[in-house]
A and B are shown apart, each in its own frame.
Chain A
Amino acid sequence: MPAKVVTITSGKGGVGKTTAVANLAVALAADGSKVVCIDGDIGLRNLDVIMGLENRIVYDIVDVIEGRCRLRQAMIRDKKLPELYLIPAAQTRDKNAVSPSDMNRLIKDLRPDFDFVLIDSPAGIERGFRNAIAAADRVLVITNPEVSAVRDADRVIGILEAEEKGPAALIINRLNPTLVKNNDMLSADDVLDLLAVELIGIVPEDESVIISSNRGAPVAYDTKSKAGQAFRNIARRLKGEQVPFLDLNHRGSVWDRIQRLAGRK
């Protein structure tokens, strides 16, 4: 079966696109899928760092497109998962080095050999974003529960609708249940209420995400982390499984748990 091409985008920068791509790639590959991820953020590459593959880069996506190497030469195999590959972005070029038709051609070559092609989109709605969505079968829009991130997500969803890229699915990243409970953060319902799209995952705020990103070992490997669990669940949903959403309030204080047991909450 030809690969499903999934692009992860957000509009706003810094909401967790690259982290999500790395984690979904790890979760899908650990679950037996053949996965290749493409760093679409040419000029500001990051995905290789988060996946811990930075020191293995010889060729990059622009080398492939400009014919300086074969596609296979630019594909870096993951350290742990033999069915996971990365095509890194070029660091010394800019987004104009690639066109949407280049992306379409590249993806066409990848489709027969993989189950999933994950594309990490740059922030913004310009050329790099257009490249990243050009070949997508499915677009995941990621946002944080913050007013500015949600507004950019809304804009991106509007553009995707206009480009007839099918209904986008939403990942809400870095939700802090305690802040939500105290009405200091938008809740998942608030975000969904505004964006009115399908929800594919809620990832709780979790400092192990930062720690593991810095180590180059995505948190999806970490079976104890709630964020890792959330990403693994999103991966299963991408495969079409029905997975219930995590109960994020469950890790409350002892007093919370006693109250819940006593039926007071």
Chain B
Amino acid sequence: MNETNSPIHIKGLRDGLLVSLDDAPWEEQLAALIAQIDAQPGFFQGARLALDVASQVLHVNEMVDLRDRLSERGIFLWAVISESPTTESTAQLLGLATRVSKPRPEESRQFSVEDLGEETALFLSRTLRSGTRIEFAGHVVVFGDVNPGAEIVAEGSVIIWGRLRGMVHAGSKGNRQAVIGALDLSPTQLRIGEEVAAALKPQDHPRPEVVRLDKDGKLQAETWKPA
């Protein structure tokens, strides 16, 4: 989408579009952005837009105007990123996000890591709530709970330092050596490789447990014991 002669740069993000403007006068920038949108309405229709306005100083009325003009075109402005503190506080005042780095957990996330070593793991230090799906081409470690309705799909093993009450699929590409471990193992469903096991009963006195495939190819949970 980059047009070299345009001051506007558009980039696809995981959860929408990031449009970057430069420091040219705001009216020109806005006009160019609107023109670009109107030239390709199909591309922008229904988009979630984050706008990087560099060091432009925008006040409330300008930002409201911008948001309305986008909204008229079926575009949802959810973030304005700026180096200017004034613009940033305006955005906050209007309930817009001011950075886009934060992942949106209700959407699926697929991590692709180049040149994966065997020992690569994704470490997540938070609780995964319902609707969160984590996919990773390696091991996954969660320092927090996995709530019912959350899903983890890993090509390697999955360790939950917390309560596992959602769904975990370890060895998703067929690795039958993968294991699943949790401090409190009360999942809705577990899968290792192609094998599936349905809910285990919630435990009154949870203990750390590890699940692996036994010699018959069934998922087997055993209490963790110090080696």
Q: Is A159 an interface residue (CB 8 A)?
A: yes
Is the beta-carbon distance between B64 and A158 smaller than 8 angstroms?
no
Interface bits A182-197 vs B (CB < 8 Å: 1, else 0) = 0000000000001010
Is the beta-carbon distance between B147 and A154 smaller than 8 angstroms?
yes
Interface size range of chain A in the complex: 20 to 34
Number of interface residues of B (CB under 8 A): 24
Q: For A105, what are the chain B residues with a Cβ–Cβ distance below 8 Å?
A: 64
Closest Cβ of chain B to A124, distance in Å, is 13
Q: Is B222 an interface residue (CB 8 A)?
A: no
Interface stretch (choices A27-35, A96-104, A233-241): A96-104
Is the beta-carbon distance between B95 and A157 smaller than 8 angstroms?
no
Query: Knowing A101-B67, A162-B106 touch, does A155 contact B149 (C-beta < 8 A)?
Result: yes
Which secondary structure dominates where chain A touches chain B?
helix
Q: Is B103 an interface residue (CB 8 A)?
A: yes
Q: Is B56 an interface residue (CB 8 A)?
A: no
Interface stretch (choices B4-12, B82-90, B123-131): B123-131
What's the Cα separation between A99 and B76 when bound, in Å? 9
Is the beta-carbon distance between B130 and A135 smaller than 8 angstroms?
no
Closest Cβ of chain A to B22, distance in Å, is 25
Is the beta-carbon distance between A158 and B71 smaller than 8 angstroms?
no
Closest Cβ of chain A to B44, distance in Å, is 15
Interface bits B52-80 vs A (CB < 8 Å: 1, else 0) = 00000000000010011001000011000
Q: For A147, what are the chain B residues with a Cβ–Cβ distance below 8 Å?
A: 148
Q: Is B24 an interface residue (CB 8 A)?
A: no
Q: For B172, what are the chain A residues with a Cβ–Cβ distance below 8 Å?
A: none
Q: For B104, what are the chain A residues with a Cβ–Cβ distance below 8 Å?
A: 162
Q: For A155, what are the chain B residues with a Cβ–Cβ distance below 8 Å?
A: 106, 129-131, 149
Closest Cβ of chain A to B34, distance in Å, is 16
Q: For A164, what are the chain B residues with a Cβ–Cβ distance below 8 Å?
A: 97, 102
What's the Cα separation between A154 and B149 when bound, in Å? 9
Q: Is B197 an interface residue (CB 8 A)?
A: no
Closest Cβ of chain A to B156, distance in Å, is 25
Q: Is A163 an interface residue (CB 8 A)?
A: yes
Is the beta-carbon distance between B95 and A104 smaller than 8 angstroms?
yes
Interface bits B124-149 vs A (CB < 8 Å: 1, else 0) = 00010111100000000000010111
Is the beta-carbon distance between A158 and B130 smaller than 8 angstroms?
yes
The 8 Å CB contact of B149, one of A104, A151, A162, A196, is A151
What's the Cα separation between A67 and B50 when bound, in Å? 28
A interface with B by C-beta (< 8 Å): 99-102, 104-105, 125, 134-135, 147, 151-152, 154-155, 157-159, 161-164, 194, 196
B interface with A by C-beta (< 8 Å): 64, 67-68, 71, 76-77, 94-95, 97, 102-106, 127, 129-132, 145, 147-149, 165
- Ranked 3 nearest A-B pairs via Cβ: A158-B129, A155-B130, A154-B130
